[in-house]
């Protein structure tokens, strides 16, 4: 069976954290393609294939930070899950927050998963490995491209 290589959109304004996540994911699966959006507006532009993003592929997974400039991750999540063209893309909230109010709000907005980033490198790697295994290896999704 010919398997499509997974595509991830990482919505993260901290470029050091984005690079660390990219390195970890590429260690887990070198064939993985990772695109980075540095704020909420760019995240939606990428997903809607607007402007400079008009030819990008539809991601198989969005990793979404909550605290981003120009538009918060909460607002982005709400817009993704309300959009009939985007709502089926799995969104994993990947954030430093462990506040119950953030967790509840994200699930109310239909996040597929909420993961608090660990400052411990080994724990971060383990979280990324679990995310990759759960959302990029096993699930079957429609081919929207």
- 7-137 CATH: 3.40.50.2300
Domain residues of the chain, as ranges? 7-137
Confidence at residue 55, expressed as pLDDT on a 0 to 100 scale: 92
Q: Where are the alpha helices (DSSP H) in the chain?
A: 15-28, 40-47, 73-82, 100-108, 121-132
Instruction: Tell which residue, 27, 32, 40, has the closest CA to residue 122.
Output: 27
Residues listed for the chain: 145
Note the pLDDT tens digit of each residue in 5-39: 788 999 999 888 888 888 888 888 888 889 999 99
Residue range 35-81, pLDDT digits in tens: 999 999 999 999 999 999 999 999 989 999 999 999 999 999 999 99
Render pLDDT for 104-118 as a digit per residue (tens, 0 to 9).
999 999 999 999 988
At residue 139, the pLDDT reads: 52
């Amino acid at each position: 069976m010919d398997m499509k290589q997974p595509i991830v959109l990482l919505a993260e304004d901290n470029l050091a954290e984005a690079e660390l996540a990219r390195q970890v994911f590429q260690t887990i699966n070198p064939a993985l393609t990772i695109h980075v959006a540095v704020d909420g507006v760019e995240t939606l532009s990428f997903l809607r294939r607007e402007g400079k993003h008009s030819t990008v592929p539809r991601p198989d997974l969005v990793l979404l930070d909550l605290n981003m400039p120009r538009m918060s991750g909460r607002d982005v999540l709400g817009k993704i899950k309300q959009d009939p063209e985007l709502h089926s893309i799995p969104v994993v909230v990947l954030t430093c927050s462990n506040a119950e109010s953030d967790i509840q709000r994200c699930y109310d907005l239909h996040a597929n998963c909420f993961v608090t980033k660990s400052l411990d490198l080994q724990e971060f790697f383990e979280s990324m490995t679990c995310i990759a295994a759960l959302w990029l290896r096993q699930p079957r999704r429609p081919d929207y491209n």
